[in-house]
A and B are shown apart, each in its own frame.
Chain A
Amino acid sequence: MNVLLVDDDSTFRFIFRKQVEKQNGLEIMHESEHGLAALEYLKSAISESKELPDVIILDINMPIMDGWMFLDDYSKWSKEAGIDIPVCMLSSTINQMDFDKSKTYSSVIDFFSKPFSSEHINRLLSLEV
């Protein structure tokens, strides 16, 4: 399963990489520091007819374009582009409002709270996307 990791925190990205290394089944296809970079990556992948990720792991609190803005833009764009990559939220938030808000986006399939664990990877793999 190929993932696109969108998170501005380099330390977390390191931890994510380490965790993925330990377990089989997940491949990090690309890492983006914020939503805009992720969108640009997806757009260029399509225009260059490259392989697209199976799932997008999305942080919320990011500079330039945070998780919510990304979801707004992605929802619109993905429909036009005719793609349907599921999104999995991954944040250190424990705010119920953030959980509720994520459910309003049809592309969001799950919500993981940091710290990231092997259990999260198992859940991702079981989603059979």
Chain B
Amino acid sequence: MDKTEIDKLRKALSEEREKRVIAESKLEASERAFFNAIDQLRAEKRDVESEFEAKSVELEEFARFSNQSPYATMRISADGKLLYSNKKAREIVRGLPKEAQDSMQAAFFHKVSDALNSLAPVTGEFMIAKTTYHVTFASVQNLGYVNVFAVDISEQEKLRKYFDVLSSFSAHLIETQTEEDVAWTIAQQAISKLGYSDCVVYLKDPITGEFVQKSAYGSKNPRDLELANPIRIQPGKGIVGHVAAMQAGEYVDDVRKDERYIPDHMESISEICVPIVVNGETVAVIDSENSEYAFYGEEDLSILTAIASVASSRLQRIKAIQDVRQEKERFRSFVENAFGGIYIIRQNKFEYANAPFFEIIGYTEEEAFEDSFNFFEIITVTDAEAIKAIEERKSGDRSPKSYKLELDTKAGEKKHLAVNTTILEDDKGPYTLGICLDITFIEESRTQLTNLNLELEKRNEELRQFAHLASHNLRAPVTNLMGLLEHFDRTQPGCDTNEFIIQEFEKSVNSLSLTLEEMHQVLKMRAEKNVELNTIKLSDSFNQVTELIKEQIASADAIIFTDFDVDEIRYVKGHIDNIMLNMITNAIKYAKPQNKPEIRVSSALSGSDVIISFKDNGLGINMEKYGDQIFGMYKRFHSHPDSRGLGLYLVKTQVEQLGGSIEVESSPGMGSEFKITLRAN
């Protein structure tokens, strides 16, 4: 055996020794615990024995005590023999039928055996002749019998049951959401908790006043919760109707003897009806029938009345919830379907807004509710009324305000709003309630109408002027003709005066004809609507016009310079020709008598517009005096035989017809420059 093996053995040995020490100490501890337990048990046994000894009294003593007790007492032996019963106990037993006595005896014997095998008394509840007793069986072991005490607990039991039923009803009713729910819960609970064979709940039809069967449990509705053909009871008819009218519950022992009873197919003998009254109005009736005579009593009436009262408050609450819900729904639907936008703003943030509002502002609900969105940033206020109202708001004015706003929608569209705001306050503080209408269409129509009206007024005024001038210019030569005719000497046809009169006659007739022609021109131009645009060259037009009036140019010894920076334009050929003709002939007509007329015709681009300029070295015009009349009809500023005062009026009208304009720079003796701006077409 080598050293290592010895060491192994030694080690094993010492381990073995340690284990034994631990086991011995454990054994010692459990022995101690055991003896302690025995001591304990002995002590307890002594206590129990002394208690039993104390309770063990002689039969005589027990009897004397029992006869004075208000409780029923008995002493029953271990083999079930009745050793003693007091007067109270004897009375109870004597009233019982034989079978009941037997079954009671059997039940008692069972408890007696239990009590004999138990250290503590055994108890139980027994229903004896519709009365509930709490019975205590106390054994006295060494004497071999059991003392029995029976206490009548019917009242407590009734109360307990009453509260049990009521709390069960209440617990179920609290879950109900509709009147129908309430009806079904009552009927179902009446069956399960009150032990009724049938229960019906009638609800008042608010329109007809009839009581309509809403729920039925038991024999009247054997299948399911559906009522195929509900019973309808006229107010005041039958026991149900009567109870509803009297607003007091009632039970009937024998319906066959009650003339109010409306017979139906059920074989009912007794019935109970209890009304449910809400705010002084009978809204429902609980009704139960039974085939037993006098099945219902005061107890039923009292519990059903209590249930009816619970149901009443529940119905009231349901009605209130429904009212609130309906009110809310009505309000929501009103707001959502409102013609205009409705919004609530609190501290510059949207709290609520309806769909029409988002439609108006052109932002979605999500966009408008973002923190970065500020309603006031998209608003442009131009209306003086609005600025005033907003200022008043800032100074704390909370009264309702109506004004107009403009805003830019997300798409950049301009919209006109008619707004009405009011400051209201709730528990979260003040807020703005706003109502707005999109009046863009109205505003735009109004603007259009105003513009149209202005245009019409302008046209009207022009026409009026035209009519006056035309009539004047027609009347003048006609009156001349009349005057000349008056002085014509018929007696001397060939005299000098008559010759002169004939000459003057010709002048007047020519003037008349010219005026008529001009009127025709003006009217024709005014009536022109769809003018045809062509690509034309200013130089071409210039050449044609100067060719036409070459004799006039030659006789005036006029020099015309051209500088067409822009030559090709899209315009109406006739208009350009007319402009050229009028402006050049005007410049020649109104030249200084001693000077050679010099005319510069040029064109240039200004943005997309073309400007044609006619600059001369002629007489010039006193702009201060006549500036506003230059382009008027039949306005002449020079005494010139050919001047008729229509040319510039025609040019201006034609230029403006296509969106252009004409302006003049001039001063007396310094020549004139007419600038005609033609809109790019």
Contacts and interface: CB of A to CB of B under 8 A. Distances in A.
Nearest to B626: A69
Nearest to B474: A92
Interface residues of B, number: 25
Given A14-B500, A95-B468, A63 B476 contact: no
Interface string A1-34: 0000000111110110011000000000000011
27 contacts: A8-B639, A9-B476, A10-B504, A11-B480, A11-B507, A12-B480, A12-B483, A14-B500, A15-B484, A19-B487, A33-B639, A61-B472, A63-B636, A63-B637, A63-B640, A63-B643, A64-B637, A64-B639, A92-B476, A93-B472, A95-B472, A114-B475, A114-B476, A114-B479, A114-B480, A115-B483, A116-B483
Contacts of A129: none
Nearest to A118: B486
Contacts of A114: 475-476, 479-480, 483
A73 B77 CA distance: 155
Contacts of A94: 471-472, 475
A93 to B, nearest CB: 5
Given A92-B472, A94-B475, A9 B480 contact: yes
A92 B479 contact: yes
A34 B480 contact: no
Most buried by B among A15, A94, A95: A15
Contact of A15 (B472, B480, B645): B480
B288 interface: no
Interface string A91-106: 1111100000000000
Contacts of A12: 476, 479-480, 483
B411 to A, nearest CB: 51
A33 B640 CA distance: 11
B366 to A, nearest CB: 65
B482 A115 contact: yes
Contacts of B570: none
B459 interface: no
A63 B640 CA distance: 8
A15 B487 contact: yes
B143 to A, nearest CB: 146
A95 B643 CA distance: 23
A61 B634 contact: yes
Interface of A: 8-12, 14-15, 18-19, 33-34, 61, 63-64, 91-95, 114-116
Nearest to B469: A61
Nearest to A34: B639
Contacts of B468: 93, 95
B interface SS class: helix
B638 A63 contact: yes
Given A15-B480, A18-B497, 6 more contacts: A61-B472, A63-B636, A63-B643, A64-B636, A92-B475, A92-B479
B213 interface: no
Contacts of B486: 15
B484 A63 contact: no
User: Which 8 A-B pairs have CB atoms at the shortest separation, nearest pair first?
Assistant: A15-B483, A63-B636, A114-B479, A115-B479, A92-B476, A92-B475, A18-B487, A63-B639
Interface in B629-646: 634, 636-640, 643, 645
B66 interface: no
B432 interface: no
Contacts of B636: 63-64
A10 B480 CA distance: 10
A19 B482 CA distance: 12
A interface SS class: loop
B509 to A, nearest CB: 11
Contact of B484 (A11, A64, A92): A11
B602 interface: no
B603 interface: no
A117 B483 CA distance: 8
A91 B472 CA distance: 9
A114 B471 CA distance: 13
B617 interface: no
A50 to B, nearest CB: 24
B229 to A, nearest CB: 93
B508 interface: yes
Contacts of A92: 472, 475-476, 479
B630 to A, nearest CB: 13
B487 to A, nearest CB: 4
Contacts of B484: 11, 14-15
Contacts of B475: 92-94, 114
B635 to A, nearest CB: 9
B80 to A, nearest CB: 142
A14 B500 CA distance: 10
Interface in B504-523: 504, 507-508
A84 B483 CA distance: 31
A12 B486 CA distance: 12
A92 B478 CA distance: 9
Contacts of A95: 468, 471-472
Nearest to A95: B468
A27 to B, nearest CB: 19
Contacts of A116: 479, 483
A116 B483 CA distance: 7
Nearest to A63: B636
A15 B468 CA distance: 24
A123 B508 CA distance: 27
Nearest to B497: A18
A91 B553 CA distance: 35
Interface in B340-390: none
B483 A64 contact: no
Contacts of B504: 10-11, 14
Nearest to B465: A95
Nearest to A69: B625
A63 B486 CA distance: 28
Nearest to B511: A11
A87 to B, nearest CB: 19
Contacts of A14: 484, 500, 504
Contacts of B637: 63-64
Interface in B450-503: 468, 471-472, 475-476, 479-480, 482-484, 486-487, 497, 500
Contacts of A18: 483, 487, 497
A10 B500 CA distance: 12
Contacts of A64: 636-639
A19 B483 contact: yes
A14 B503 CA distance: 12
Most buried by A among B476, B637, B638, B640: B476
Most buried by A among B480, B507, B640, B643: B480
Contacts of B476: 9, 12, 61, 92, 114
A98 B233 CA distance: 96
Contacts of A34: 639
Contacts of B487: 15, 18-19
B375 to A, nearest CB: 55
A12 to B, nearest CB: 6
Nearest to B645: A63
Most buried by B among A19, A33, A34, A93: A93
Nearest to A36: B639
A8 B345 CA distance: 76
Contacts of A63: 636-640, 643, 645
